[in-house]
Each structure stands twice: as structure tokens, then as C-alpha cells.
Amino acid sequence: MTEKALQQLKTAETEKISHLDYFNIGITVDCVILGYEEKELKVLLIKSDMQEYSGLFSLPGDFIKPDEDLEAASYRVLKEKTGLDDVYLEQVRTFGNIFRHPSGRVITVAYYSLIDVKNHKLQLDLNERHWHPVNEIKKLAFDHKLILDTCLNRLRQQVMEHPVIFNLLPEKFSLRELQELYEAILGVELDRRNFRKKISIKDWLLDIDEMEHNVPHRPGKLYMLKKQFRNKSAKTGAGLQFA
Amino acid sequence: MTEKALQQLKTAETEKISHLDYFNIGITVDCVILGYEEKELKVLLIKSDMQEYSGLFSLPGDFIKPDEDLEAASYRVLKEKTGLDDVYLEQVRTFGNIFRHPSGRVITVAYYSLIDVKNHKLQLDLNERHWHPVNEIKKLAFDHKLILDTCLNRLRQQVMEHPVIFNLLPEKFSLRELQELYEAILGVELDRRNFRKKISIKDWLLDIDEMEHNVPHRPGKLYMLKKQFRNKSAKTGAGLQFA
DNA sequence: AGTAAATATGTACTTATTACACATTAATTT
DNA sequence: AAATTAATGTGTAATAAGTACATATTTACT
């Protein structure tokens, strides 16, 4: 940014602050990368490399590069940590308390994404990256527990209205698997018949006329998410009903 | 931020970028300040002071100060532009495309707030601040039209679930006034009986046993928002229903 | 052949949503 | 004072959605 340009940025209210002050704030993206394994919702965490938080885990994140769109930064972090790039990713909220980062002023934009754990071969032992069951997480570095909880709440709001969680499942799944996933996310038990009725009304699923294999009981039918809903942003439609 | 602290910030992925690069991004808050006047939803805009956008209006906003919480910055902007501080204010989304600001890299966090126009004496002629009917706005400086639309969509999502829009009305109001406000925000016509039924189920309103005055027809009863709902954040409660 | 464990399915009850019409009240006009 | 105007205030029937709940069926396993 040139000095001339900076002049233009200034308004009457801000003139007292110098260039260095303005631009002395770091901006990061932090990603809540969620997976689903063994009937549990899990989040990808890395060992914090900061002394202040030694022993604690934190969300993967990185600084935004000056020549990189905000959204691109979130996809980059996701790609670097998981190798995946064609996934659901949603911006949730920006966190900017002064003292949220012990080393200085850092504002972070939080995103969440949902991925199929089995579908990506992650080097878990390297880089101290691990999947952690979200229900067992008590404390994280920085304000990352708050960020995690905020993202989980947003996910819970989205989940019944939008077909967002299918990235957490394999391509073909049974209704039981889908119901168990909903139960894991919402933290409640659902009635099987009512669940099926509600899902069937949504008209999200394609009956592919295949059956489960290798289950120690009667196999269920398999379904896929209809193509038109794959990897769509949750932003689609607001759906206000009010006569 | 000290050099030592900066070292701690660096991760393997970011080491190639220098301090100056990291911190060469500006951060602002932009506020969509909404009011309601003459049965129209209006937004407070100021004349853009940038050559690139001469003649266009823009949202009020300002740089975040290094020693100021993000949220505090949004309240400060609101206070500076309207004189009000005890109002509903909600963070909506952060906008960070590279070229969204012609003078350099500026990421902005967007908020919206709702205020009672009559209740604050704004110096409209000074500073080129004006109320503009939202429905007549075709173009704004920067990406502010996108920001405005995003905030309006968020407001429309919130409005039936949370008692947020009462800041747009005087303290005492009739059900007709309230319905007209909903119609202005949602852009639809509502059935009077169904509207009243729905509002009465919410149990937000207090019947204060007063009547309208100075209306050229039969006066209606006046209501107030119950105290427990005043100036609450829309964040309260998610309300998932799924048996 | 019998048992275990899950699938698949329907109905009655309650609650919410929608569409729709008429008598009443106060101010204004004649 | 009576008539007119323009809004308020209210209820019901029909449809749709949400909830609680039980039985027969299918496959794998022993």
C-alpha cells in the first residue's frame, strides 16, 4: 500500500493513528475440520507450538497472505492439513479480542468443514495432527475452545435445513448410519420412524437399490446424496415461512 | 509485537513470509445501521471520500485500533455515527477479497444494527450522512452492496425467531405498526389475523392498556416489548426441533 | 431349526400453518 | 346528528407438520 493510498484510507476519526499502528494486527484463519468415525464426531487438532500453551492442542490455522483472498486462505489451510480441496467450508465468525493471542494482536476468521475421514489418507503421526472426539475436548490453546463450540452450534443449526453433513459419510450409506450421524452431531436420540419420515420429505437421497454387506444383522438399503446437493454451500436459501 | 513474539507466531508453513508482509493487511469494521421511517427500511450511508468511488455512498466503518476489541470497534463506529451505544449489534460476516479495497489490502468485518430513527438526533447534513431506503439502493462503494445484502438476508433469517427488530420502533407501538415493519423487512404482505396469532404465541409483547392517538381511524391498542427481551443479542438459543 | 439383531413400515394425536369474513370503533364528513 | 370512512379486533375449518408408539420381516449366526 502506498503512502498516497494510505492517505485516502484515513478518515477524520482515524487520522491520529499511524500507519504502523493500523497494520500492526495479524489476521489468521482457523479451521474446525470435522470428521466422523466410530459413531463419534471428531475434530482435527494439532499440538500447539507455543510455550504458553505447551501440552494443549489447537485448531489448524495460518496467517492470511497479503495476496490471497480470505476464502482462499481457508481452503489452503484445509488443503495443507487434509489434502482435500472440494469440500464444504463455511465461514462462521471472526474472533478479535485483544488478548486472545499471547504474542500480539491477532484477529482470526473461523471456518468449519466436514470431511469423510476414511476418504483421505492423513499422516496422523507426523506433525502431531490427530482426530479428537469433540465431546471429550475440555480445553484448547488460545480461544479455540470457544471457536470450536461456536462452529458446532452453527453446524447444529444448519444440519436439519441443509444437506451439509454428507461429506462426513462414505458415498453410499444406510439410513441407520445417517441417523447415527445426526444423533452424534445433535447429541440427542432420534426416533427411527420419525427420522426417516423427515429425511424422506427433504428429498435429498437417491435410493441406489443396493444393500449393506458384512453387517452382523439384516442389511439395510444403501442411499446416496443426490448430485444436485453435493458440495453445495449451506448459504443456499433462507426459507422463511410466514403467511 | 516484539520480534521474539513474532517468532512464536510463525509456523512451518508461514516462515517464508516476512513480518511486513503479514502485517500489511488492514482490518476495518463496517456497519449496516438500519432504521425504519415512513414504512420503509432505511440504511445510514455516508458519501465515499475516495476518488475511485466519487459520487457513491458507502457504509460507515473504520479501522480497528490495535488496542481495541473487535466488538468494541463496532460499537465505537456505531456510537460515532449515531450517538447510540445500547443497541442490538450483530456480527454477520467477514469480507476479504484481495481487491475489495482499491487502495490496498483491507479485510472488513460486517455488523448490522437496528435503531429507532426518531429516538436519535442525528446531524444528517453534516458529514454527508443520510438515511437511504434500502430498496432503492442499486450501487455502493467498495463491496458494500454485497455487505448490505448479506446483512439484510441475515436479518430476515433472524426476525421471526428472535425479538430483534423492536429497536426500530418507538417504545410503544400498535400491532399494525409492528406488522408493517415485518412486511417492510421481509418484503411480503402478511395476513393480519395470522400475524397476530404468531406474534401472540411468541409471548414477546406486553399489553400496556393504552390506545393510539391522532390516527384518522379507530385507534389500536399499544404494546411494548417485554423487558427481558430488550437489547438482547440474537445469538440466544438455536431452537432445533427434531424428535 | 432356532435365536439374535437389526430393518421396514403406519396410525392416532397434537400442534402449527394457512386461507378466509364480519361486526366494531372512533374520527371525519355531510 | 347521521352517514361515511378506515381502520381494529376476532374465529374457524382445512391442511400440513411434529410426536409418540408396536409389530412383522429379514439376514447372520449358532
CATH number, residue A178? 1.10.10.10
Q: Establish if A105 belongs to a structural domain.
A: yes
**Overall average pLDDT of the A143-152 stretch:** 98
Q: Establish if A164 belongs to a structural domain.
A: no
Could you tell me if A147 and A174 lie in one domain?
Answer: no
Q: What's the pLDDT score for residue B127?
A: 65
**In which residue are the cell numbers 415512513 written?**
B38
Residue among B5, B69, B103 whose CB faces A104 most closely:
B5
Q: B90 with B154: CB under 8 angstroms?
A: yes
Q: What's the pLDDT score for residue B81?
A: 87
Could you tell me if A183 and A214 lie in one domain?
Answer: yes
Is A39 near strand C, with its CB below 7 A from some atom of it?
no
Most trustworthy range by pLDDT among A54-58, A68-72, B228-232 = A68-72
Q: What's the pLDDT score for residue A126?
A: 63
Distance B243 CA to D20 C1' (A): 9
Beta bridge partners of residue A9, listed in sequence order: none
Could you tell me if B175 and B81 lie in one domain?
Answer: no
Is A194 near strand C, with its CB below 7 A from some atom of it?
yes
Could you tell me if B111 and B174 lie in one domain?
Answer: no
Beta-carbon separation of A5 and B198 below 8 A: no
Which of chain D's bases lie under 7 Å from a protein CB?
5-12, 17-22, 25-29
Q: Establish if B198 belongs to a structural domain.
A: yes
pLDDT tens for A13-69 read 344 444 445 568 999 999 999 999 999 999 999 998 888 998 999 999 999 999 999
Whether A183 and chain B come into contact, CB under 8 Å, resolves to no
- Identify the residue with better confidence: A80 or A126: A80
Q: What's the pLDDT score for residue B243?
A: 27
CA B229, CA A112: separation in Å to the nearest integer? 30
- Maximum distance among all alpha carbons in chain B? 73
pLDDT tens for B138-184 read 999 999 999 999 999 999 999 999 999 999 999 999 999 999 999 99
pLDDT tens for B64-116 read 999 999 999 999 999 998 888 878 899 999 999 999 999 899 999 999 999 98
Within 10 A of A89 (CB to CB), how many other CB atoms are there? 23
Could you tell me if A28 and A97 lie in one domain?
Answer: yes
Task: State yes or no: pLDDT of A236 exceeds 90.
Answer: no
Which helix H or strand E contains B73, and what residues bound it?
helix B70-82
Could you tell me if B66 and B120 lie in one domain?
Answer: yes
In the DSSP assignment, the letter for residue A126 is G
Q: What's the pLDDT score for residue B119?
A: 74
**In which residue are the cell numbers 484515513 written?**
A10
Range with the poorest average pLDDT among A148-152, B51-55, B81-85, B216-220: B81-85
Chain A nearest CA to B66, separation (Å) = 6
CA A53, CA B118: separation in Å to the nearest integer? 50
* String of DSSP letters for A121-179: ----TGGGEEEEEGGG----STTHHHHHHHHHHHHHHHTTTS--GGGGS-SSEEHHHHH
Domain stop point among B158, B189, B210 = B158
Could you tell me if A146 and A213 lie in one domain?
Answer: no
CA A113, CA A31: separation in Å to the nearest integer? 7
B chain contacts of residue A98, beta-carbon cutoff 8 Å? 67-69
Is B198 near strand C, with its CB below 7 A from some atom of it?
yes
Percent of chain A with pLDDT over 70: 83
Residue among A13, A51, A94 whose CB faces B91 most closely:
A94
Q: A30 with A91: CB under 8 angstroms?
A: no
Task: State yes or no: pLDDT of A148 exceeds 90.
Answer: yes
Give the closest residue to B84 by CA, choosing from B59, B119, B38, B109. B119
Range with the poorest average pLDDT among A144-148, A183-187, B117-121, B169-173: B117-121
Q: What's the pLDDT score for residue B149?
A: 98
Q: B159 with B186: CB under 8 angstroms?
A: yes
Is B243 near strand C, with its CB below 7 A from some atom of it?
no
Within 10 A of A100 (CB to CB), how many other CB atoms are there? 18
Could you tell me if B174 and B213 lie in one domain?
Answer: yes
Q: B47 with A2: CB under 8 angstroms?
A: no
Rg (CA), chain B: 21
Beta bridge partners of residue B58, listed in sequence order: B46
Is B243 near strand D, with its CB below 7 A from some atom of it?
yes
Cell of B193: 389475523
Task: State yes or no: pLDDT of B47 exceeds 80.
Answer: yes
**Overall average pLDDT of the A129-147 stretch:** 96
Give strand ranges (E) for A25-168: 26-37, 40-47, 57-58, 61-63, 88-95, 106-114, 129-133
Q: Establish if A2 belongs to a structural domain.
A: no
Could you tell me if A152 and A202 lie in one domain?
Answer: no
CA A127, CA B177: separation in Å to the nearest integer? 60
Task: State yes or no: pLDDT of A97 exceeds 90.
Answer: yes
Distance B219 CA to D4 C1' (A): 17
pLDDT tens for B208-217 read 999 998 888 9
Q: What's the pLDDT score for residue A125?
A: 61
Could you tell me if B217 and B128 lie in one domain?
Answer: no
Q: In chain A, which among 10-69 make CB contacts under 8 A with chain B?
A: 11, 13-14, 17, 21-27, 49-51, 62-69
Range with the poorest average pLDDT among B4-13, B31-40, B70-79, B186-195: B4-13
Q: Note down the domain range covering B210.
A: 170-229
Percent of chain B with pLDDT over 90: 70
Domain stop point among A101, A124, A158 = A158
Q: What's the pLDDT score for residue A170?
A: 94
Range with the poorest average pLDDT among A15-24, A101-110, B43-52, B178-187: A15-24
Could you tell me if A100 and A31 lie in one domain?
Answer: yes
Beta-carbon separation of B103 and A1 below 8 A: yes
Task: State yes or no: pLDDT of B186 exceeds 60.
Answer: yes
**Overall average pLDDT of the A103-124 stretch:** 87
Chain A nearest CA to B235, separation (Å) = 10
Confidence class for position B13, pLDDT limits 50, 70, 90: very low
- Identify the residue with better confidence: B205 or B119: B205
- How far is residue A10 CA from its own chain's centroid? 36
Residue among A6, A62, A69 whose CB faces B96 most closely:
A69
Task: State yes or no: pLDDT of B51 exceeds 50.
Answer: yes
Domain stop point among A96, A126, A158 = A158
From first CA to last CA, the distance across chain A in angstroms is: 51
CATH, residue A77: 3.90.79.10
Q: What's the pLDDT score for residue A22?
A: 55
Q: Establish if A70 belongs to a structural domain.
A: yes
**Overall average pLDDT of the A148-164 stretch:** 96
Q: Establish if B136 belongs to a structural domain.
A: yes
Q: Establish if A165 belongs to a structural domain.
A: no
* Number of domains into which chain B is organized: 2
Percent of chain A with pLDDT over 90: 70
Could you tell me if B92 and B175 lie in one domain?
Answer: no
Q: Establish if A179 belongs to a structural domain.
A: yes
**Overall average pLDDT of the A130-157 stretch:** 97
Whether A188 and chain B come into contact, CB under 8 Å, resolves to yes
